[in-house]
């Protein structure tokens, strides 16, 4: 019941695509994912011509995968093969978004990713996608997952709700997406990226996540960056940091 009340404040999907891979000169394959007991999902696979690593891209809470094409093109340009998919209810994917559903969607994407992607394989989660990435990583055993990249993400849904609606007890009542608690249990190489001027998820969330994480870990603060322009403000340095993390 509580999740249904929160959902309109958390998920902002768009069905309409506002760009296509060909506009960015990207070679791609369309993929269809089928979570266990869930709806059909739509995604794109972008193989890099000279791959250095592979990324499963879990996007944020608004729009759809077409809005990430510029970001994806830059990642492919430095050697990342990328699988990006839309959660249920986003873009061409069917269904309605829920926390459990998004985790199931990410699990289906990971299984498809394993069949497509050369190692090393990483999960890259932006904003809400960082919380989804952590929920997925918690379910993965073995060496198939080389590490995680979390960008502009939050410590927990309760912490975010407490900031937006500072009501007594609200923070404890809302228990969704417990990323900080999950990170404390995680034993994977980790890169955390956060814009120092993030207007949606305060920079302090990134700092707290980094402090809670186990080694090996790296923190990349981007001066002057907000929530959605980290890769633009960071520029070449941003891409080089990702490559250095992935290949070392």
- 93-107, 160-174, 204-218: least confidently modelled range: 160-174
Spatial CA neighbour of 222 closest among 153, 150, 124, 152: 152
Per-residue pLDDT, averaged over 204-208, amounts to: 97
SS (H, E, C) 167-206: CCCHHHHCCCCCHHHHHHHCCCCEEEEEECCCCCCCHHHH
Peptide bond into 15 cis (omega under 30): no
**Token code pair at residue 221:** 């603060």
**Pairwise CA distance, residues 233 & 192, whole Å:** 16
Give the pLDDT score at 141. Answer: 87
Write the pLDDT tens digit of every residue in 17-39. 999 999 999 999 999 999 988 89
Q: Domain boundaries in the chain?
A: 2-13+36-247
Per-residue pLDDT, averaged over 87-115, amounts to: 97
Give the pLDDT score at 96. Answer: 94
Per-residue pLDDT, averaged over 188-205, amounts to: 97
Q: Which residue has the higher pLDDT, 124 or 9?
A: 124
Q: Which residue has the tokens 């993965």?
A: 140
pLDDT-based confidence at residue 1 (cuts at 50, 70, 90): very low
Residue 144 backbone zone (phi > 0: left; psi -120 to 50: alpha; other: beta): alpha
Per-residue pLDDT, averaged over 212-240, amounts to: 98
Fold category of 2-13+36-247 in CATH:
Rossmann fold (3.40.50)
Peptide bond into 90 cis (omega under 30): no
**Token code pair at residue 205:** 């969330």
Give the pLDDT score at 248. Answer: 83
Give the pLDDT score at 7. Answer: 65
Give the pLDDT score at 53. Answer: 98
Write the pLDDT tens digit of every residue in 130-178. 999 999 999 998 899 999 999 999 999 888 875 655 555 555 666 689 9
Is residue 216 scored above 60 in pLDDT?
Answer: yes
Give the pLDDT score at 157. Answer: 85
CB atoms within 10 A of CB 97: 20
Per-residue pLDDT, averaged over 202-226, amounts to: 97
pTM: 0.94
**Pairwise CA distance, residues 218 & 203, whole Å:** 15
How much of the chain, in percent, has pLDDT values that exceed 70? 91
């Amino acid at each position: 019941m509580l999740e249904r009340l929160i959902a309109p404040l958390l998920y902002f999907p768009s069905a309409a695509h506002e760009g296509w891979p060909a506009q960015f000169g990207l070679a791609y394959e369309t993929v269809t994912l089928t979570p266990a007991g869930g709806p059909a999902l739509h995604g794109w696979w972008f193989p890099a011509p000279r791959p250095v690593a592979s990324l499963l891209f879990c996007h944020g809470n608004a729009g759809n995968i077409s809005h990430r094409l510029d970001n994806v093109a830059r990642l492919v340009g430095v050697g990342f093969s990328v699988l990006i998919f839309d959660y249920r209810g986003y873009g061409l994917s069917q269904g309605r978004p829920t926390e459990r559903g998004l985790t199931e969607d990410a699990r289906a994407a990971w299984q498809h990713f394993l069949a497509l992607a050369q190692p090393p394989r990483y999960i890259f989660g932006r904003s809400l996608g960082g919380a989804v990435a952590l929920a997925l990583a918690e379910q993965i055993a073995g060496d198939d997952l080389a590490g995680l990249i979390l960008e502009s993400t939050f410590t927990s849904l309760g912490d975010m709700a407490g900031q937006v609606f500072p009501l007594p007890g609200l923070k404890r009542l809302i228990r969704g997406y417990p990323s900080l608690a999950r990170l404390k249990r995680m034993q994977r190489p980790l890169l955390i990226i956060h814009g120092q001027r993030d207007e949606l998820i305060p920079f302090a969330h990134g700092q707290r996540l980094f402090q809670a994480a186990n080694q090996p870990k790296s923190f990349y603060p981007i001066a002057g960056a907000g929530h959605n322009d980290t890769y633009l403000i960071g520029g070449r340095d941003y891409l080089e940091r990702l490559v250095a993390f992935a290949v070392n």
